[in-house]
């Protein structure tokens, strides 16, 4: 069944008002009850202090030497006076809980009740039952407790006041609901009429009658919405033409996707080719060792070649897997504050043996800088770059390792004196399995994966890498943001 928005809105306002009135009534009545309880508790506490003062004054006025004897002998008379003075029903008891006297003969003896035993233990106790509050308080001489004082207080006035307020809240609530319902019906009638006008305009747009859209002359959200619908109708025709142009863009996107698919196939083809080459070499060397197993030189040389190719294949697989993990999975990096100078000096020391083998000198000019980065990633990035600088350098060449700070960034440059990288290859050098010279790649056991892995690791640490070199030599510049934590 379809329900009008006017009815829904009115019901919502009524329910909201009922909820608010209920909360307010509950809190107010709770506050009144707590205030009444606090009031008579304070009243009874003050009267117990007054009663204790009265008993002490009577003792001081008498000629008695012993307070407790005086209390037991004159208790019946004092309790009558206290009843008149305090305007309460009063009873007094000795330290054993025996009643000494009462202002009214019919007052119940509390000796057997638990609250009496608690009161005899130097505690103030009270119990509420219906409209009656029984209040027990210790009676003291000047040093210790000598008895118990009991008041009976009736809370009928408080209860009647509470019930009056409760009925008042109910009457006010009903009157508020009736008035709210009438006002809500009148108010939402206008809103519903505006909504119906907007609904009619939308129906006209569905039919394609854009000129039949009406505008509301209202200076509020309905007026703004009506204006928006009006302009929307005028823009729809233009959007239809735009949709046609978007179709062309979609076709271009499809072409790009096809190119990406082609690149993926090339990537798989490169993996297959690169993995097949060392396997072919290993197989050939195994065949040689089998054919010439008595020739120790051939066996030793074939074994050495096979081991090199297996090592190259192992590195290729490891780098490919690492590259795949970086691209597909958001694995956790163990970032820490590191000193790039200290780590670069360590890397240069590690690579110095291989550099010495080819007569290459590593020249260091590194400024101390601190960055927030994964230790293993940093080592892998720069070991890979320096290893390439050794591989593709000339004999007796040089490698310059520089580190400096500029604009809150740590710049690290690795420069070699090799033949450099042609400009047309610099853009693709960081793609997987891409090598500048396939023959040279085979000569130096290159896989074309290392720089792609380096690029991924640098970007994962919000860094950047680029090639600066011109016609001679190559300069890899890697940039990271400094760690501003001074701890």
d(CA 209, CA 205): 6
Q: Is the pTM of this model over 0.85?
A: no
Contact criterion met (CB below 8 Å) for 71 and 147:
yes
- Per-residue pLDDT tens for 368-423? 999 999 888 898 889 889 988 888 888 889 999 999 999 999 999 999 998 778 77
Nearest by Cα to 155 from 45, 240, 46, 43:
43
* Beta-strand relationship, 398-406 and 361-366: parallel
Q: Give the pLDDT score at 68.
A: 87
Contact criterion met (CB below 8 Å) for 415 and 474:
yes
d(CA 411, CA 368): 11
DSSP string of 407-443?
Answer: TTEEEEEEEE-S----HHHHTTTTSTT--S-HHHHHH
Q: Write out residues in the chain with pLDDT < 50, as ranges.
A: 111, 273, 328-330, 438-445
d(CA 364, CA 400): 6
Tell me the backbone φ, ψ of residue 362, rounded to 5 degrees. -100, 115
The single-letter DSSP state of residue 4 is -
Q: Give the pLDDT score at 128.
A: 85
Contact criterion met (CB below 8 Å) for 473 and 414:
no
Question: In the structure encoding, which two tokens stand for residue 132, read together?
Answer: 């009656």
Nearest by Cα to 102 from 85, 117, 116, 88:
88
Residues contacting 104, CB < 8 A, separation 6+: 83, 89
Residues contacting 325, CB < 8 A, separation 6+: 331
Bridge partners for 152 per DSSP: 89, 134
Nearest by Cα to 58 from 45, 43, 73:
73
d(CA 405, CA 254): 45
Contact criterion met (CB below 8 Å) for 20 and 172:
no
Range 457-487 burial, b when 16+ CB lie within 10 A, else e: bbeebebebebebeeebbbbbbbbeebeeee
First to last CA, the chain: 69
Contact criterion met (CB below 8 Å) for 369 and 483:
no
Q: Give the pLDDT score at 438.
A: 46
How many CA atoms within 13 Å lie on the side-chain side of 341?
Answer: 10
Residues contacting 480, CB < 8 A, separation 6+: 340, 371, 373, 409, 410, 412, 461, 462, 463
Contact criterion met (CB below 8 Å) for 486 and 353:
no
d(CA 216, CA 186): 19
Contact criterion met (CB below 8 Å) for 339 and 317:
no
Label each residue of 327-361 as H, E or C.
Answer: HHCCCCCCEEEEEHHHHHHHHHHHHHHHHHHCCCE
Q: Give the pLDDT score at 444.
A: 46
Range 437-453 burial, b when 16+ CB lie within 10 A, else e: eeeebeeeebbbbbbbb
Bridge partners for 306 per DSSP: none
The 474-481 sheet, strands edge to edge = 361-366, 398-406, 409-416, 474-481, 464-467
Contact criterion met (CB below 8 Å) for 370 and 338:
yes
Domains with residue ranges and CATH for the chain: 5-162 (3.30.450.20), 235-330 (1.10.287.130), 332-481 (3.30.565.10)
d(CA 338, CA 412): 14
Q: Give the pLDDT score at 413.
A: 94
Contact criterion met (CB below 8 Å) for 468 and 413:
yes
Residues contacting 365, CB < 8 A, separation 6+: 400, 401, 402, 403
d(CA 210, CA 235): 10
Q: Give the pLDDT score at 411.
A: 96
């Amino acid at each position: 069944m379809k329900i009008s928005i006017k009815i829904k809105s009115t019901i919502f306002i009524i329910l909201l008002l009922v909820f608010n009135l209920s909360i307010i009534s509950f809190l107010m009545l709770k506050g009144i009850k707590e205030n009444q309880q606090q009031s008579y508790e304070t009243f009874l506490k003050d009267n117990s202090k007054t009663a204790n003062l009265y008993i002490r004054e009577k003792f001081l006025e008498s000629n008695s030497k012993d307070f407790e004897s005086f209390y037991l002998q004159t208790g019946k008379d004092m309790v009558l006076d206290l009843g008149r003075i305090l305007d309460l029903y009063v009873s007094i008891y000795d330290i054993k809980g025996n009643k000494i006297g009462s202002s009214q003969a019919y007052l119940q003896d509390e000796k057997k009740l638990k609250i009496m035993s608690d009161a005899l233990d130097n505690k103030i106790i009270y119990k509420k039952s219906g409209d009656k509050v029984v209040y027990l308080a210790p009676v003291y001489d000047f040093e210790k407790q000598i008895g118990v004082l009991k008041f009976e207080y009736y809370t009928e006035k408080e209860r009647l006041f509470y019930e009056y307020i409760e009925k008042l809240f109910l009457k006010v609530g009903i009157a508020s609901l009736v008035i709210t319902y009438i006002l809500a019906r009148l108010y939402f009638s206008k809103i519903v009429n505006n909504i119906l006008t907007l609904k009619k305009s939308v129906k006209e747009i569905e039919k394609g009658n854009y000129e039949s859209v009406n505008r509301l002359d209202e200076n509020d959200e309905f007026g703004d919405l009506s204006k928006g619908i009006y302009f929307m109708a005028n823009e729809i025709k233009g959007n239809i033409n735009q949709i046609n142009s978007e179709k062309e863009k979609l076709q271009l996107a499809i072409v790009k996707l096809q190119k990406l698919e082609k690149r993926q196939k090339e990537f798989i083809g490169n993996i297959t080719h690169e993995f097949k080459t060392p396997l072919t070499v290993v197989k050939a060397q195994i065949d040689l060792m089998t054919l010439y197993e008595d020739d120790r030189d051939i066996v030793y040389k074939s074994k050495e070649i096979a081991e090199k190719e297996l090592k190259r294949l192992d590195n290729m697989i490891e780098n490919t897997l690492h590259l795949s993990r970086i691209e597909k999975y958001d694995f956790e990096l163990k970032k820490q504050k590191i000193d790039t100078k200290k780590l670069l000096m360590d890397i240069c020391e590690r690579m110095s043996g291989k550099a010495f083998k080819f007569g290459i000198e590593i020249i260091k000019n590194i400024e101390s800088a601190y960055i927030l980065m994964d230790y293993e990633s940093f080592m892998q990035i720069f070991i890979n770059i320096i290893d390439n600088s050794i591989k593709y350098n000339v004999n007796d060449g040089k490698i310059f390792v520089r580190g400096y700070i500029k604009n809150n960034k740590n710049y690290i440059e690795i420069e070699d004196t090799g033949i450099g990288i042609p400009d047309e290859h610099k853009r693709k050098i960081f793609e997987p399995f891409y090598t500048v010279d396939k023959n040279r790649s085979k000569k130096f056991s290159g896989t074309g994966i290392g720089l792609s892995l380096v690029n991924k690791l640098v970007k994962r640490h919000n860094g950047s890498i680029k090639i600066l070199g011109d016609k001679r030599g190559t300069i890899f510049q890697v940039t990271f943001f400094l760690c501003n934590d001074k701890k």
